[in-house]
């Protein structure tokens, strides 16, 4: 892309000399296929950027006339330019810290897991705790690991590793000892210290993970900032220009503020506060004051709260309308659980809705989804805000078909992660859901058919990849990158590439009332654009995952640029 069109540049230079442009573009892209983000036919050849906004779109000749002496000209040579990705649900600090920990993502055998942990421990002899993330339920008999496997990897230091989805964790014997966990230890909250025949397995579900994680020495502020720097570098290399941090605290918000003050926050961040049934009135007041003081600017905002209403299908902690299909004899809750009393959840939703917060609710099971819709409807009717908000439900891995029309009726947005439906990771999930509910699994096409505003994201690090391209691949194929299963997994729920891109660009912008600022390539929009190595609109969908981001521009500034391969 550094190669310039000689003839065009000559013409542009001649035009600039004869008619000096008093307000030239700072950056222009020419000779490309520019998807402006509206629909499947919204393409132009070129785009001009001045400062941090889109100056104009049009033909190459029209845009070339906007050059000046200091204009940078990028010849796309026919490549695709699109709006930057908006990752609307991410746990960015946790994911960034994970870049400094053991990573089991992609490991599909116990032997490889043990080898990876051993290698990491050997390479980091000064780490007092070995922590990490990424193990899959599918590797283990019964869907859960045991402490003995971790003990065989390392026994002289505590090890604590979360599952890929972040809803279960795995500890070795040294970690259990450090946390004073014994077979007599009880956890009365939402979650479980898993035992087998009265013995500790080393597995913890949901909030019970805190029993161990709370004794792990915390990172310093500078260690967290360094981790965020790594995360930002990775995210922008994948074309992510905006993100919503869908969990957090005022202390985490302060980290982003520090980076912003230091000029080290190129990516646009919407910070969200985690709330639950223990959230106090004083905390609500504090969050409201922060929201009102931060306001909504173009780089850092804080106007959302995040609820956890249930768990996950794999560990039977998601709230279901009907029993799981693979129940174990004696299982105490055949339909899973909600993480808080419904009445308390509704009252908190009503209070945050009244105070003008955007509300995000984690609801994976069909019962939890219904209760979230009920709470939003209750709040809207009671506060007089019905039709004025854009609250979201996160994940929605299974949904009752009776509830699909309610999303559009209530103005609630389905916020979903296509990568969670990666066919290679869903076998345990599918066993739990059963064949009768399978048609409504990750029901993206059904949501669009019901006129809902679909929002896409990664849920990183609770996923196999941060890269939005992998999510797009799953969205349009419902197959692995190896092509399995042939024909696709629940193929009726795959969607066209245009709809998938809209969900990954405009979807997040719409959910935060920023559709007039970002998510499209149009005059006056923020200049957040990316250049791709392939034309997603014309390639074989099975080649989607091969696409690379060649350049990321945020606010008119080139944040990431890859060496340009030959076209």
Flag whether pLDDT at 261 surpasses 60: yes
In this predicted structure, the answer to whether residue 255 has a pLDDT above a threshold of 80 is yes
Residue 198, in any domain of the structure? yes
- CB burial string 246-275: b at 16+ within 10 A, e below: bbbeeebbebbbbbeeeeebbbbbbbbbbb
Evaluate if residue 226 carries a pLDDT over 90. Answer: yes
**What's 539's domain CATH number?**
2.30.40.10
**What's the confidence (pLDDT) of residue 13?**
47
Q: Kindly tell me if the per-residue pLDDT of 57 is higher than 60.
A: yes
Tell me which of 5-19, 225-239, 360-374 is least confident. 5-19
Are 125 and 190 part of one and the same domain?
yes
pLDDT band at 142 (very low <50, low <70, confident <90, very high): confident
Higher pLDDT, 105 or 266: 266
Percentage, residues of the chain above pLDDT 90 = 82
Q: How far apart are CA 6 and CA 285, in angstroms?
A: 60
Residue range 162-167: mean pLDDT, rounded: 86
The residue-averaged pLDDT of 39-52 equals 95
73 and 146, same structural domain?
Answer: no
Do 209 and 110 share a domain, yes or no? yes
Q: 191: pLDDT confidence band, cut at 50, 70 and 90?
A: confident
pTM of the predicted model, to two decimals? 0.87
In a shared domain, residues 204 and 113: yes
For residues 145 and 186, membership in a common domain is answered with: yes
Same domain for 146 and 119? yes
C-alpha dihedral, 5 to 10 to 14 to 17, nearest 10°: 80
- State the CATH number of the domain containing residue 186: 3.10.310.70
Strands of 232-391, DSSP E: 240-245, 268-274, 300-308, 358-363
Residues 202 and 112 in one domain: yes
3-state SS class at 331: coil
Tens-digit pLDDT profile for residues 267-321: 999 999 999 999 999 999 999 999 999 876 789 999 999 999 999 998 899 999 9
* Residue 473 covered by a domain: no
Cβ neighbours of residue 128 under 8 Å, at least 6 residues apart? 157, 158, 217
pLDDT for 175: 94
- What is the extent of the structural domain holding 109? 102-213
Does 116 share its domain with 207?
yes
In a domain, 181, yes or no: yes
Structural domain includes residue 24: yes
In terms of Cα–Cα distance, which of 302, 167, 286, 169 is closest to 248? 302
What pLDDT score does 567 carry? 41
Tens of pLDDT, residues 345-368: 999 999 999 999 999 999 999 999
Pairing of strands 199-206, 85-90: unpaired
Position 38 scores a pLDDT of: 87
Which whole number is the average pLDDT over 534-555? 98
Is residue 330 in some structural domain? no
- 464, pLDDT greater than 50: yes
Same domain, 108 and 208: yes
Q: In this predicted structure, what is the pLDDT of residue 9?
A: 53
Q: Are residues 142 and 196 in the same domain?
A: yes
In a domain, 405, yes or no: no
Domain count across the chain: 2
Strand-pair partners of 244: 270
Asked which of 178, 213, 248 is the last residue of a domain, the reply is 213
**pLDDT computed for residue 566 by the predictor:** 43
Give me the pLDDT at residue 469, please.
98
pLDDT of 377 strictly over 60:
yes
More confident residue, 141 or 397: 397
**3-state SS class at 118:** helix
- From residue 203, alpha-carbon distances to 23, 209, 324 in Å are 62, 8, 20
The pLDDT of residue 428 is 86
Say yes or no to pLDDT of 150 above 50.
yes
Alpha carbons 438 and 429: distance in angstroms, whole number:
10
Domain end (from 173, 194, 213) = 213
Rounded average pLDDT over 506-520 = 96
For 211, the 3-state DSSP assignment is helix
User: Does residue 204 fall inside a structural domain?
Assistant: yes
Q: Which residue would you say has higher pLDDT here, 184 or 309?
A: 309
- How does the average pLDDT of the chain come out, rounded? 92
Percentage of the chain lying above the pLDDT 70 cut: 95
Q: Name beta bridge partners: 245.
A: 90, 271
pLDDT at 447: 98
Q: Are residues 208 and 124 in the same domain?
A: yes
Query: In terms of domains, do 27 and 116 share one?
Result: no
Q: Does some domain include residue 381? A: no
Has residue 49 got a pLDDT over 90? Answer: yes
Boundary (domain end) residue, out of 193, 213, 233 = 213
């Amino acid at each position: 892309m550094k190669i310039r069109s000689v003839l065009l540049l000559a013409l542009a230079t001649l035009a600039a000399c004869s008619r000096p442009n008093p307000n030239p573009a700072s950056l222009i892209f020419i000779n490309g296929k520019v998807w402006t983000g509206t629909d499947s036919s919204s393409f132009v050849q070129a785009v001009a950027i001045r400062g941090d906004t889109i100056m104009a779109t049009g033909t190459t000749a029209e845009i070339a006339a906007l050059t000046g002496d200091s204009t940078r000209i990028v010849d796309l040579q026919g490549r695709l330019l699109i709006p930057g990705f908006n990752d609307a649900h991410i746990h960015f600090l946790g994911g960034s810290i994970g870049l400094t920990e053991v990573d089991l993502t992609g490991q599909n055998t116990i032997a490889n897991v043990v080898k990876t942990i051993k290698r990491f421990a050997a390479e980091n002899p000064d780490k007092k705790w070995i922590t990490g993330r990424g193990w899959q339920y599918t590797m283990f008999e019964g869907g859960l690991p045991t402490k003995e496997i971790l003990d065989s990897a390392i026994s002289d230091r505590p090890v604590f590793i979360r599952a890929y989805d972040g809803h279960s964790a795995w500890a070795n014997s040294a970690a259990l000892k450090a946390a004073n966990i014994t077979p007599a230890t009880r956890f009365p909250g939402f979650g479980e210290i898993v035992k087998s025949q009265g013995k500790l397995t080393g597995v913890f579900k949901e909030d019970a993970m805190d029993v161990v994680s709370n004794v792990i020495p915390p990172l310093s502020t500078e260690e967290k900032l360094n981790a965020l720097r790594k995360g930002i570098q990775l995210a922008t290399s994948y074309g992510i220009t905006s993100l919503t941090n869908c969990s957090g605290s005022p202390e985490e918000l302060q980290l982003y503020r520090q980076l912003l003050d230091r000029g080290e926050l190129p990516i646009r961040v919407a910070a969200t506060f985690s709330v639950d049934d223990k959230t106090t009135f004083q905390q609500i007041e504090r969050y409201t004051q922060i929201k009102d003081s931060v306001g909504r600017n173009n780089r850092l905002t804080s106007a959302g709260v995040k609820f956890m209403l249930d768990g996950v299908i794999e560990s039977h902690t998601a709230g279901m309308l009907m029993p799981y299909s693979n129940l174990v004899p004696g299982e105490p809750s055949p339909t899973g659980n909600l993480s808080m009393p419904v009445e308390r959840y509704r009252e908190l939703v009503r209070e945050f809705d009244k105070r003008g917060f955007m509300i995000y609710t984690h609801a994976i099971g069909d019962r939890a989804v219904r209760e979230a819709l009920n709470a939003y409807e209750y709040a809207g009717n009671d506060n007089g805000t019905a039709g004025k908000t854009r609250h979201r439900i996160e994940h929605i891995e299974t949904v009752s078909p009776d509830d699909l029309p309610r999303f559009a009726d209530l103005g609630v947005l389905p916020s979903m992660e296509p990568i969670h439906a990666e066919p290679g990771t869903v076998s345990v999930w599918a066993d739990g859901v059963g064949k009768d509910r399978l048609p409504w699994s990750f029901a993206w096409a059904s949501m669009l058919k019901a006129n809902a505003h679909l929002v896409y994201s990664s849920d990183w690090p609770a996923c196999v990849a941060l890269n939005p391209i992998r999510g797009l691949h799953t969205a349009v194929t419902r197959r692995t990158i190896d092509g399995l299963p042939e024909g696709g997994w629940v193929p009726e729920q795959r969607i066209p590439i245009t709809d998938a891109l809209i969900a990954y660009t405009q979807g997040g912008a719409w959910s935060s009332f920023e559709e007039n600022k970002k998510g499209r390539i149009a005059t006056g929009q923020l200049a957040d654009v990316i250049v791709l190595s392939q034309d997603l609109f014309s390639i074989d969908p099975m080649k989607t995952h091969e696409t690379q981001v060649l350049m990321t521009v945020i606010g008119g500034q080139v944040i990431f640029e890859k060496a340009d391969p030959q076209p």
